Structure 1
Amino acid sequence: MSKDYPVPSGYLERETEVKKSRFIARVYPVSSRDEVREHVARAHRDYPDARHVCWAYQIGRPGSAAEAAMNDDGEPSGTAGKPILNVVQHKDMGDVLVIVVRYFGGIKLGAGGLVRAYAGAAESVLSEVGRTIQQIRVQAEVVLGFADEQPLRHWCEGHEGHIESIQYSNRVNALVSVPEARATEFAAFCDAQKLDYRLET
């Protein structure tokens, strides 16, 4: 079974209206809780006078997500975050955050109405966002000299590699992630450069 899974290809925003309440739904690809916090904070900044900013996310492969959470932001418990998360899980998409901003229109929707409205807002944005396949990545610890850092960065730029962290002492210690399919290429590069590396298995 493939370990690759679909993730949102980018940011998208859609607005729906239910009984004069405005629901502004945003979807983002995310890979960490810090990213989730940043996007939620931005929604609060973008819509400072909104009544509620509700959200749900899951990180990792759909069906076995490494992490998932939701927030009702003052709506009755279970009427906002949970329906958003349900739609996210139903869409079989990983590494995804959906935020729904609500402007109250003066007409109470009731618990059932809220559930339908938040689920509908999440559906409106998730059904339109593009999908891309998240490749499983492997990490490597690399110890190198200062002169080798630029060639390593150059290789990563051309081969979908990411330098996750880098520390400097008398040598350079880098944590690099590469798509699983490129692990042997990366090993060959390190061997050719005579770099000391350890690939996770």
Structure 2
Amino acid sequence: MNVQPYFIPAAPVQSEEEIKKSHFITYLAHTPGIEAAKTFVEQIKAQHSDARHNCWAFVAGRPQDSMLWGFSDDGEPSGTAGKPILAQLSGCGVGELTAVVTRYYGGIRLGTGGLVKAYGGGVQQALKLLQTIEKKITTKLRLTLDYGLVALAQSVMSQFEAVEVQSQYNESVQLVVELEFLNVDAFTQSLINKSGAKILVTRMDNE
């Protein structure tokens, strides 16, 4: 499992240009997963059902994970639209990103090279407008402790930016916390050291 953070889109982007009377509209959006990517493509297709082509590509997970890539020329000559769009996305280092380029045909053929340039260039322009945020890979831990140690646990949680997502107060206290994967070992060690090993930490990866 790769636990390094990566960048994802912070907000959708749209850009437009006209090339030889053809109108190109490029849409970029955050799509966490293949289903979300396909849903976004269908939304744009429905929005522009009168367009000649709605070509697309997506990088639906971590930027380097080519198992989660996809593309379509949507009726343009093979290799002139989907691949140039994907080349821009896979080269930009941003994950969970889908691009749809809508083309309203203007009556003048662009030729193979012209199409590659138009579709790839449209995405390149849109990427310049894209704001990104860092996606941290998180995991959940269960803490089991006595009531008297809750304040101590909360202090360590705030130090490591761990968020309480569930709590049960019975004979003992059980807290489920979520924190960045890279901090798990240091967080666990800190709790054990400060509580004299009285706080039990259980990983929840397998639950």
Which TM-score applies when normalising by structure 2?
Answer: 0.69
Q: Give the SS at the match of 2:88.
A: helix
Once residues 4 and 21 of structure 1 are traced to their aligned partners in structure 2, the CA distance between those partners, rounded to angstroms, is: 39
Structure 1 contact 161–178 (Cα < 8 Å) conserved:
no
Q: Percent same amino acid at aligned positions?
A: 32
Q: Which amino acid aligns with 1:40?
A: V
Structure 2 contact 57–69 (Cα < 8 Å) conserved:
yes
Q: Is 1:9 aligned to residue 15 of structure 2? A: no
Q: Is 1:41 aligned to residue 47 of structure 2? A: no
Q: Give the SS at the match of 1:38.
A: helix
Which residue of the partner structure matches residue 105 of structure 2? Answer: 104
Please report how far the alpha carbon of residue 63 of structure 1 lies from its aligned counterpart in structure 2 after TM superposition: 2.7
Structure 2 contact 3–182 (Cα < 8 Å) conserved:
no
Which residue of the partner structure matches residue 204 of structure 2? Answer: 198
Once residues 112 and 127 of structure 1 are traced to their aligned partners in structure 2, the CA distance between those partners, rounded to angstroms, is: 22
Please report how far the alpha carbon of residue 45 of structure 1 lies from its aligned counterpart in structure 2 after TM superposition: 1.6
Query: Residues 136 and 66 from structure 1, CA distance in 2 versus in 1: closer, same or farther, beyond 3 angstroms?
Result: farther
Query: Residues 132 and 161 from structure 1, CA distance in 2 versus in 1: closer, same or farther, beyond 3 angstroms?
Result: farther
Q: Is 1:118 aligned to residue 119 of structure 2? A: yes
Once residues 102 and 162 of structure 1 are traced to their aligned partners in structure 2, the CA distance between those partners, rounded to angstroms, is: 45
Q: CA RMSD in A?
A: 3.4
Q: Give the number of the structure whose alpha-carbon radius of gyration is greater.
A: 2
Query: Residues 162 and 17 from structure 1, CA distance in 2 versus in 1: closer, same or farther, beyond 3 angstroms?
Result: farther
Structure 2 contact 71–83 (Cα < 8 Å) conserved:
yes
Which residue of the partner structure matches residue 169 of structure 2? Answer: none
Which TM-score applies when normalising by structure 1?
Answer: 0.71
Once residues 19 and 159 of structure 1 are traced to their aligned partners in structure 2, the CA distance between those partners, rounded to angstroms, is: 54
Which residue of the partner structure matches residue 29 of structure 1? Answer: 30
Query: Residues 96 and 20 from structure 1, CA distance in 2 versus in 1: closer, same or farther, beyond 3 angstroms?
Result: same
Query: Residues 88 and 54 from structure 1, CA distance in 2 versus in 1: closer, same or farther, beyond 3 angstroms?
Result: same
Q: Give the SS at the match of 1:16.
A: strand
Query: Residues 113 and 64 from structure 1, CA distance in 2 versus in 1: closer, same or farther, beyond 3 angstroms?
Result: same
Which residue of the partner structure matches residue 68 of structure 2? Answer: 67
Q: Give the SS at the match of 1:73.
A: coil
Per-residue CA distance 1:48-75 (angstroms, 9 max, x = gap): 2000011101123223344100011111
Query: Residues 20 and 140 from structure 1, CA distance in 2 versus in 1: closer, same or farther, beyond 3 angstroms?
Result: farther
User: Which stretches in structure 2 are left out of the alignment for 5+ residues?
Assistant: 143-160, 167-176, 192-199
Give aligned pairs, total: 170
Paired residues for 1:113-152 under 5 Å: 113-138=114-139
Once residues 162 and 53 of structure 1 are traced to their aligned partners in structure 2, the CA distance between those partners, rounded to angstroms, is: 41
Once residues 161 and 55 of structure 1 are traced to their aligned partners in structure 2, the CA distance between those partners, rounded to angstroms, is: 39
Once residues 123 and 65 of structure 2 are traced to their aligned partners in structure 1, the CA distance between those partners, rounded to angstroms, is: 21
Per-residue CA distance 1:88-128 (angstroms, 9 max, x = gap): 11211111101101100110001110000000111111111
Once residues 19 and 90 of structure 2 are traced to their aligned partners in structure 1, the CA distance between those partners, rounded to angstroms, is: 23
